[in-house]
Amino acid sequence: MRGLNMFLTLLIGIAFTLFGVVYWSPFQETAQQASQLVSSNAPLEGIIEKYDLELAANYLKKSNPDQALEIIAQHQDSLDSNSSTSQHWLKLLVDASTQSLNIPQLVLIDEMCPEALLNNEQASLLAAEGYLMSDRDIEYQTLRQKWKNKELNPTAWLLMDGDHLISTGQVKEAKEHLINHQFDGKEETVRLIKLALLDTPSNPKTAIEYLDQAQATDPKNLDIAIYKAKIYEMTGNEELSLAEYTKALKDDPKNVYILDQLADLYLKNHLYSSAIATWEKGLSAQYSDSLWVKSIFWSRMTEAPRNNWKQLGNPSGELKPFITYLISLKPNQFWDAAEFAKLAHSEEYLETQQAAFWLRLISALKNRDQEAAWNLLQTNAHHEGSWNRPLELTLTQALSYLKTGELLRDSALITHEHLDNPLLEQLLSGTSLSEENQTLLKSDEAFSALFLAAGWPEPALEMHEMAILPDHIPTWYPYELAKAMLKNRDAHSALEFAKAQKAEWQLMLFTKELTARETLKAGDEFAAGQIYESIESESTEAKSYLARKAFQEKNWVKAKFLTQELLKLYPDNTLLQANLKKIEEEHAR
């Protein structure tokens, strides 16, 4: 029994931390007061201890292990001795640990008092799982041997044996073991899931087939839907991945994990509004801290400034101070060092919250503090699981280029993956920059351009400074910047900026389309029609407007021609197909 006293103290300390306040039943309090009043009266102490044994046992009968553990903690001396009641307390400790699924504690009990688990198979299974999770093969085999040919739940042990084979690197043997045993009910579902996970790396199609079988036996099991979604995503079938997450959410709409996974899938495909809306659905759920941080951060990166966060709920988790700080930042402010320093766990947030890294970095670049930005990039602890690793690398290369005139040749900074933007690709190739990209990087628009190229328009707009851009820069930049202004600011700002730039086909087309839209809003259909007619051959928007106008005017020839032109661009568009059919029917009358 030696050593139980030490870890019991730790256990109860954890219980107090998790549950905040300790519940003392009136009977418990009365008994304790009596014990204090007559502490020298041994018979009465025995009565109190017997009462507490029964009270703890009753708590366990009612599936309330936390209250039972509080009582057990008050009798540490009995538990840690050879008294007549020590074995009773030990059994209660094992039962309470089993009910609360406290695997680490059951492992400790098995290490210190191996006999304590001999008559509790569920406790032994949990301790065995703990040994497997910590790669303790010998301890697992020792415990497993004690239950050989005595299993009351042989299915659970057979599944555990498969896990043991996997943990020791015997993947082929594990697969054969699982194929050779079939079970009923939930255990069969577990077996099929394990087989699917074993097949996922090398044969995802077979893995999906196993999961389909598992889903047939347990259609409400959300884990199966999540596994299928992950495999589909891994193999590039994101529509089916989306369908599985959506199906799972119908059964559990506030499931924080599923909402987060679905939002991350949207994020991966740059569907930022869908991602943010998905996170926001879970803000009222318990344990939603991560959803709060992500929704606020990604809104700050991609959407126009907003001030409605307090209307969406009240964060209640450990990150509440950090979340409140994020909400309090001004629309054009990404970081406030003075206010952040006032937070009780500010240093911990810097280490654990990737949002803090990005917001500090953006703030430094906005304030033209390139040295601070460089230091943040060099000491960043969030490389693994980075929200935008290519952007990190391109910012590092850009800062190096601005400081030395050279790109870094470090292989860790170079990648040959295909990116949608030529500026990012050239920076990540580590070779040379075109004259246009050199001009852009040497201008005051350098970091605005990098964030815009990475798909983060809000930092780009906040870092944008030049009313008229240099002539010899990539043509994509003024065009994309004007589009970002239209989305996150207003049409007037976007038009004024676009008109001030060097005439370039894409930007000119954008300007005319936007002018036509604004003219329509003002009620001048004739003038808007003239603008659209001037760009009919180049503009999809103009074709769509003029086709609709021709239909209204019963100009069937023009309506048919323009609709056919649109169908060349969008052959699978069912609305256009229906419109063409209707036009032909009207024309035939």
Q: What is the mean pLDDT of residues 292-308?
A: 95
pLDDT at 569 over 60: yes
User: d(Cα 400, Cα 408) in Å, to the nearest integer?
Assistant: 7
Give the closest residue to 495 by CA, choosing from 484, 504, 480, 482.
Answer: 482
Q: What is the C-alpha separation between 538 and 571, in angstroms, rounded?
A: 18
pLDDT value, residue 147 = 93
Predicted local distance difference test score (pLDDT) of residue 76: 79
Q: What is the identity of the amino acid at 332?
A: N
**What's the confidence (pLDDT) of residue 43?**
63
- Confirm if 325 and 340 have CB atoms less than 8 A apart: yes
pLDDT at 409: 81
Residue 414 pLDDT: 66
What are the distances in angstroms from CA 170 to CA 162, 209, 285? 9, 23, 41
Of 401, 512, 398, 422, the C-alpha closest to 474 is: 422
Q: How confident is the model at residue 413 (pLDDT cuts 50, 70, 90)?
A: low
Question: CA-CA distance, 373 to 529, in Å (whole number)?
Answer: 49
Q: What is the CA 305 to chain-centroid distance, rounded?
A: 22
Is residue 29's pLDDT more than 60?
no
What is the C-alpha separation between 393 and 397, in angstroms, rounded?
Answer: 6
Q: Assign a CATH topology to domain 507-589.
A: 1.25.40
pLDDT at 301 over 90: yes
User: How distant is the alpha carbon of residue 438 from its chain centre?
Assistant: 36
Contact call for residues 463 and 475 (beta carbons, < 8 A): no
Region 248-263: what's the mean pLDDT?
92
Residue 17 confidence (pLDDT): 33
Going by pLDDT thresholds of 50, 70 and 90, the confidence category of residue 48 is confident
Residues 6+ apart with CB under 8 A from 318: 289
Q: Which residues contact 287 (CB under 8 A, 6 or more apart)?
A: 256, 317
Q: What is the DSSP letter of 312?
A: G
Residues 6+ apart with CB under 8 A from 26: none
> Are residues 549 and 529 in contact, defined by beta-carbon separation less than 8 angstroms?
yes
pLDDT confidence of residue 410 = 77
What is d(CA 196, CA 187) in angstroms, rounded to the nearest whole number? 14
Contact by Cβ (8 Å): 203, 220: no
What would the pLDDT profile of 415-428 be if each residue is shown by its tens digit?
Answer: 656 678 889 989 98
Per-residue confidence band for 310, with pLDDT thresholds at 50, 70 and 90 = confident
Asked if pLDDT for residue 293 goes beyond 60, the answer is: yes
Burial zone of 75 (CB within 10 Å; 0-12 exposed, 13-18 middle, 19+ buried): buried
Mean residue pLDDT across the chain: 88
Higher pLDDT residue, 173 or 15? 173
33: pLDDT confidence band, cut at 50, 70 and 90?
very low
pLDDT, one tens digit per residue, over 65-123 is 988 888 888 887 777 667 778 888 889 999 999 999 999 999 999 998 889 998 899 99
Which position has the token pair 């604004």? 518
Give every CB contact of residue 182 below 8 A, 6+ residues apart in sequence.
188, 191
Amino acid letter for position 250: K
| Confidence check: pLDDT of 127 > 60 | yes
Domain ranges of the chain: 388-502, 507-589
Average pLDDT, integer, range 514-532: 97
Say yes or no to pLDDT of 563 above 80: yes
Output the pLDDT for position 411.
67
